[in-house]
Amino acid sequence: MAIKSRKVGNSITLTLPEELNVTENVEFEPSVDSKENVFLKRISELNEEEGSGYSSVYGSVQAVDGQTQR
């Protein structure tokens, strides 16, 4: 399975397919290695009322954009 990055506003997003079974309100820590491979490490699952800095997986991936922009 391959996915493609796309520009949304000032961010780059990666859409994760449903087959990966990633639900909403799961927080990830993004990182990029020296070959520009993006990795998402699951941190925790948040309750709706807890909230977080990210509204969804998309927010987590968008955060990578600021780190990799040249």
**One digit per residue, pLDDT tens: the chain, 70 residues?**
899 999 999 999 988 999 999 988 889 999 999 999 999 999 876 554 455 454 444 444 444 444 443 3
Query: Which pTM does this prediction carry?
Result: 0.53
Looking at residue 52, its pLDDT comes to 47
> How confident is the model at residue 24, as a pLDDT?
87
Tell me what pLDDT residue 45 has.
62
Where do the structural domains in the chain lie, given as residue ranges?
5-68
Residue 50: predicted pLDDT? 54
Smallest Cα–Cα separation from 62: which of 1, 2, 6? 6
The Cα 22–Cα 65 span in angstroms is: 20
